[in-house]
Amino acid sequence: MDIIAIINELRKELERIDGLIIALETLQVGRRRGRPPKALQQLRAGVLSEDTPAERHAAKAVRKAASKEAAGKKKAARKKRAKKTSAKRTSK
């Protein structure tokens, strides 16, 4: 086995381990406070790939959190509009 093949194999193993670490970090119980881990930031920025199951799991968790956040903003905007229209109705 030549050195280039060994290096490629070690890089693949490193990616797999990184993916597992990301998956374990996303499975932590309770909400994290503060800045998210660097790997999750990279995943959100699209720097990391989604080749391994662990990376796909971490990416899914990031997408789910983003959609929850978007739904919350949408709900808040809807609530604000409803409050605004009800104030107009009572003032007429």
pLDDT in tens, 30-67: 566 677 666 666 666 666 565 677 777 777 787 888 88
Domain count, the chain: 1
Structure tokens at 83: 């409050």
Q: Minimal CA–CA distance to 39: which of 20, 27, 22, 16? A: 22
pLDDT at 39: 65
**pLDDT surpasses 60 at 71:** yes
**pLDDT surpasses 80 at 26:** no
Residues 19 and 55: beta-carbon distance below 8 Å:
yes
Structure tokens at 73: 């903003």
**pLDDT surpasses 70 at 25:** yes
Structure tokens at 86: 């009800």
Percent of the chain with pLDDT over 70: 67
Average pLDDT over residues 4-29: 82
Find the domain containing 23 and state its range.
3-91
Q: Which residue has the tokens 């998210």?
A: 36
pLDDT at 57: 77
Instruction: Pick 61 or 88 by higher pLDDT.
Output: 61
Q: How far apart are alpha carbons 65 and 42 in whole angstroms?
A: 15
Structure tokens at 12: 């693949």
Query: H or E element: which one contains 21?
Result: helix 3-26
**Please, what is the end-to-end C-alpha distance for the chain in angstroms?**
84
